[in-house]
Each structure stands twice: as C-alpha cells, then as structure tokens.
Chain A
Amino acid sequence: MTDLNIDSLTMRFSGLVALDKVSFTVKENEIFSLIGPNGSGKTTLFNCINGFNKPQNGTINFCGNDLLNKKTYRIIRSGISRTFQNVQNIPFMTVLDNILLGANSRIDTLGTLKRLVSRDQRKIEESMALEIMDFLGIANYEQKFMMGQPFGIQKLAEIARALVSKPKLILLDEPAAGMNDQETREIANIIRDIRDELGVTVLLVEHDMNLVMSISDQICVLESGKVIALGEPQIIKDDPKVIESYLGEPLNA
C-alpha cells in the first residue's frame, strides 16, 4: 500500500487555475513521469505534494496518510523527499554536510544531544551520507565546499540529499536540465538504479523526451493544469492530443 493517490486536485492562484481536477495513481516501485509544456502545473503539483502550496480541492493520499493536512517539514517523515528545479544547495557547506541535511529526519533528539559530548555520533551520521555518495559515485567530493562545484555534481548532491532520508517516494524536478547527452544517460541509469536497487518509487518531471520515454513505466501529460493523457510511453508517443500540444510532429513526417 505505498501508492500515491492524487484525486481531483485543484489549485488556484487567485484567477489562474494552475491545476484543474488532476487525478492519477503512482504505483509502488514505478517510474512515473509528468510532462507538459512550461506553465502546465508540473512543479505546482510537486509543491502540493510537498506542502509548499495548499490546494483548494482534492486529496493527496500516500500510504493511507492524507498529505494535505501535514506541514511541509513533516512530509519527509511520511517517506517523500524531493529535489528542486533550480538546485537548492548550501554553498558554504561541504558536499557531505549538504547531503547530511537530508538525514535530519533519521537523527533523533537523543542523537543530536549525543553529538555534543562524543565524536562517534558524527561518524554515524557521516556513514549515512557516504553510503549514498558511494551509490551515486560522488564520494570523492565529500570534503569539498558546495560553492564552485560543477553543476552536475550539485544536481547529484541534491538527489543524494533527497535519498539519504530513506524515502519511499522521491520527487525529481528536472534532474537532467542543463546536462549534455552523456550526463543525461548517466542520470537515466541513476534513476533506474534508485528504483531497482533502493526500491524507491520515482515521480519525475522532465523535458528531455528521450530520457522520459526510455525509463518511464507510466507517463502523465499535463496541459494548462489538466491531464490530457495518461498511460505507457508507447501510447503517449502516438496520442494525437499530446503530439499537438507538446511533442509536435516528427521532423521527417
């Protein structure tokens, strides 16, 4: 029962309807992609799941919990973590400390107090982050300051920060934005590994169609806040509505 159920979600910013009765279900261990033109409400949907925006109507249900009643800082405890479209890292902290920020929900008050008297607690905390950094292949960056790191490392560090809390569902907001083909392929492999090795369900927003089509199990297409298509990649590719509003005609047609 670790499905994410979104039912007739409606979010209005005064006059503008950002999300209009959006409904879909993300099943456990699935890579679910949200695509759509700019301003179609993908990030707003993420913000609703994450508690940054409070929608007027509808429900979001995860593992039997109603997420809309929860404060933003409680969402991560119910097993959902996220990354941001514009990387949100702390420049004057080391990469390791940035990632440890995500482990906050795993460190209880007793552990925090223990840190004041012993160094062992710090080692325990660091091993949490190093485990994920090894998994993503950025372990040799641990001691370096986030400030001045290449964009790819910053993106990976953000994914690591989201993963270190051991979530059941991870929301990835354009992980491949601003990356070249090589890096995009690496990201695709990483997303697959997140699902296969860590067993984390992935909800993905992405504009790179090759990436989306190659790794997704389900795709949901949004346009001006409405769901216009929902299904497997092959169905979405041939859907006339999606081609008209987002994908466009193939060049050699």
Chain B
Amino acid sequence: MKDRYEHENLYWIPILIIFVFLLPVILKGVTFSYKYYLFVLNLAGIYIILNVGLDLLSGFTGLVSLGHAAFLAVGAYTSAIMVDQLGVPFSLSLIFSPIIVGIFGFIIGFPALRISGMYLGLTTMGFGFIVKRIIISFRDWTQGSAGLEVSSPVLFGYTIKSDWDNYYLIYTFVIIAIVIGRRIATSKIGRSFMAIRDSEQAAEASGINLSQYKMLAFFISGLFAGFAGVLFAHTSSFISTDHFDILLSIYFIIMVLVGGASSIYGAVLGSLFIVLLDNLFVPLIEDQIQLIFNTQAGDIQSLIFGLIMFLFIIFQPMGLYGMWLKMRIYWKLFPFNPRQRFT
C-alpha cells in the first residue's frame, strides 16, 4: 500500500505557527496602534474557536444553530461565577466550564432528534432568548443586565493582563482548536456527521446511530463554544447580556458560511475575514457612507454583512476556502484544462 503522506506538503504549518506567534512583535514594529489590532485579533481568535465548533455542528452535521451566542454566554458566565464567586482556579475552570456548556448543548440537542432545518434554527434561537432571560433573572450571581466584572486569568501563578498576554493565551488555544477540529473532521466522527447531513439512509445502513451522533455534534460544539466563552469572559474583563445578542448568533452563521461551510479552515478564514472587516474596514468608510445615505451608526455594519452574505451565497457558495481550493487546482493544472475543478 502506498503512503499518501510522503508527498503531502506540511512545511507551511510550522511557518504559519511561527508567524502567528511573531505577529504581535511585527505589529508593534509597524504601527503605533498595535494594541487595537491585538484586541481585534483576540476577538477573532475567540470567534475562531467557537466557529470551529459551530462548523462541526451546522456545516458538517447540517444542524443549523442560531443559538451559539447563548452557548458563548453560558461558558462566559459559568467561568466568571466559578472563578470569582466560588474561588475555583482559572485552569480548572478552563476544563470544567466547557464540559458544562457541552452538557448544555447536549440538552439543547434533544429537539434536533425530531426536527431539522429552519425549525431547529428557530428552536435554538428560542434557547438563546431563554438563556438571556435566565441570566438577567439570577441577579445574585450574574448582576442581571448591569453586567459582570471578571478577573484576569491566572495561569501557573502568572496573571494574564495585557492584550499582548491575552493574544498568546488565546492563540495557543486557537491552534489547539484548529488541530482538534481538523482531526475530528477527518475521523470517523466527521465522516459520520457529513453522512447524517447528506443521506440519513446511507448513514444508518453504515452503522451510524443517528440520535447518538446528533447529540455528540451538539456536545462537541458546546465544548468549543465553552472554551471560547471562558476565554472571552476572562480576557475582556467585563461581560453583560448585551455581548451575547441574537444578532451575534447570526453573525457566527455568516462567518461559517462566508468562510465555507463544512471545512474547518473555512470557519477560521470566515471568522478572521468578518471580524477584521467589521473592526478595521467598516470604521474607515463609515463616515462617508453615513454622509451619503444619512444612516445611523451600526446600520452600515448590518448592510455590509447582509450584502457579503448575499453575494457569497449566490456567487461562491463554498466560501473563501472553496475559492482557495479552486485557485489551487487552477494553478496546479494551469496550462491544461484550467476549468476543471473537483472532478
């Protein structure tokens, strides 16, 4: 049997990891406002972790979730309460909070055994509202809608305070999340997830227990969202229910779709693309657009996101990662048959 990995190019992985860890240094050398860029990249990193999980659920398994902001919220509040009010060390919270969110996802997954598609999306959205209401109601623990101050993470006796430190903390987990997500996607679990999405009959005949795997998808997705939530709470030092709006859940779905559903790299590209666009590109043109169209602040963001999603779904349904795949195949075959894509 021939070995397929001998010819695979893996040299870019260490280069990329080194680049990720050198990026803050480069940014500091290039620009004065590097702290803002780091803040934006940190946010993107947290969303990458969450979207890898969301992609496994909505992209691979085809179970659309419009409640992932609620997953993030449960993770953030669980960790904040555990660390600040119960005195659990951050490192333990980093293990237990995701598991709690995973179990939460498992419970939300029960309706998915009976319903699918848009109805499941609406059900998960409903869970988002319920979670928000519960957080507001439990004022003793969560300070209600006033928001909750969260302490900085302490790992091995070292307090992680600045955006600089947060960057390294978050991107360590981003790399782990991508590797694990990628391995889940190429393992038995990932294949089963895709089979459930595309042909439940073939899946069942191949020995896949449909309900077990659907619940597993929600659990895994919850684990990733939990990690993202813990990092979000402790690196942004303040959380309130406004951070976990229903609109955020929709933005998560947009990120996965624009990046390319059912590919882990797609979720990564989509998160980076949307977050960087939102925080670096939109402010540049916001003033001009507001003058021309007489819009209010915030409107322009929805306008641009809506337009991007619309254009991607029509012209590039496989997203940014699909674009990259097509480009790569085009260059590989360049003088011959450049139109050939996936066959």
Residues of A within 8 A of B (CB): 50, 52, 71-77, 81-82, 84, 88-93, 97, 100-105, 107, 111-112, 115-116, 119, 121-123, 125-127, 130-131, 144-145, 147-149, 161, 165
Cβ of B4: which chain A residues have Cβ within 8 Å of it?
A: 123, 126
- Per-residue interface assignment for chain B, residues 297 to 326, with 1 indicating a CB less than 8 Å from any chain A CB and 0 otherwise: 000000000000000000000000000000
Q: Once the chains bind, are B188 and A73 in contact (CB under 8 Å)? A: no
Max chain A C-beta neighbours (<10 A), residue from B188, B197, B203, B341 = B188
Contact of B188 among A112, A131, A165 (CB under 8 A): A112
Q: Once the chains bind, are A88 and B1 in contact (CB under 8 Å)? A: no
B250 to chain A, nearest CB (A): 24
Chain B residue with minimal CB distance to A126? B4
Q: Once the chains bind, are A101 and B195 in contact (CB under 8 Å)? A: yes
Q: Once the chains bind, are B187 and A145 in contact (CB under 8 Å)? A: no
Cβ of B184: which chain A residues have Cβ within 8 Å of it?
A: 116
Known A104-B192, A127-B1, A148-B343; contact A115-B187, beta-carbon cutoff 8 A: yes
Known: A73-B207, A126-B4. 7 other contacts (CB 8 A): A76-B207, A84-B201, A90-B202, A104-B191, A111-B188, A116-B183, A123-B5
B198 near A: Cβ within 8 Å?
yes
- Complex: A101 Cα to B188 Cα, angstroms: 7
Cβ of B204: which chain A residues have Cβ within 8 Å of it?
A: 52, 72-73
Q: Once the chains bind, are B183 and A88 in contact (CB under 8 Å)? A: no
Known A116-B183, A116-B184; contact A93-B205, beta-carbon cutoff 8 A: no
Cβ of A119: which chain B residues have Cβ within 8 Å of it?
A: 5
Determine the main DSSP class of A at the interface with B.
helix
Contact of A115 among B1, B5, B188, B197 (CB under 8 A): B188
A92 to chain B, nearest CB (A): 6
B103 near A: Cβ within 8 Å?
no
Cβ of B187: which chain A residues have Cβ within 8 Å of it?
A: 112, 115-116, 121-122
Q: Once the chains bind, are B343 and A149 in contact (CB under 8 Å)? A: yes
A143 to chain B, nearest CB (A): 8
The 9 closest A-B pairs by CB, nearest first: A88-B202, A76-B207, A115-B187, A148-B343, A105-B207, A88-B199, A145-B342, A72-B204, A90-B198
Cβ of A50: which chain B residues have Cβ within 8 Å of it?
A: 205
A86 to chain B, nearest CB (A): 10
Q: Once the chains bind, are A165 and B206 in contact (CB under 8 Å)? A: yes
The interface on chain B, measured as residues whose beta carbon lies within 8 A of the other chain's beta carbons, has a size of: 32
- Complex: A52 Cα to B202 Cα, angstroms: 11
B60 to chain A, nearest CB (A): 10
Known A112-B189, A126-B4; contact A89-B202, beta-carbon cutoff 8 A: yes
Known A104-B188, A144-B343, A148-B342; contact A88-B207, beta-carbon cutoff 8 A: no
A91 to chain B, nearest CB (A): 7
- Complex: A147 Cα to B322 Cα, angstroms: 14
Q: Once the chains bind, are B205 and A123 in contact (CB under 8 Å)? A: no
- Per-residue interface assignment for chain B, residues 169 to 199, with 1 indicating a CB less than 8 Å from any chain A CB and 0 otherwise: 0000000000010011011110110110111
B262 near A: Cβ within 8 Å?
yes
Q: Once the chains bind, are B206 and A91 in contact (CB under 8 Å)? A: no
Known A88-B199, A115-B183; contact A73-B208, beta-carbon cutoff 8 A: yes
19 sample A-B contacts, Cβ–Cβ < 8 Å, listed by A number: A71-B209, A73-B210, A76-B205, A76-B207, A77-B207, A84-B201, A88-B201, A90-B202, A92-B194, A100-B191, A104-B206, A111-B188, A112-B189, A115-B188, A116-B187, A123-B3, A125-B188, A148-B342, A165-B206
- Per-residue interface assignment for chain B, residues 1 to 28, with 1 indicating a CB less than 8 Å from any chain A CB and 0 otherwise: 1011100000000000000000000000
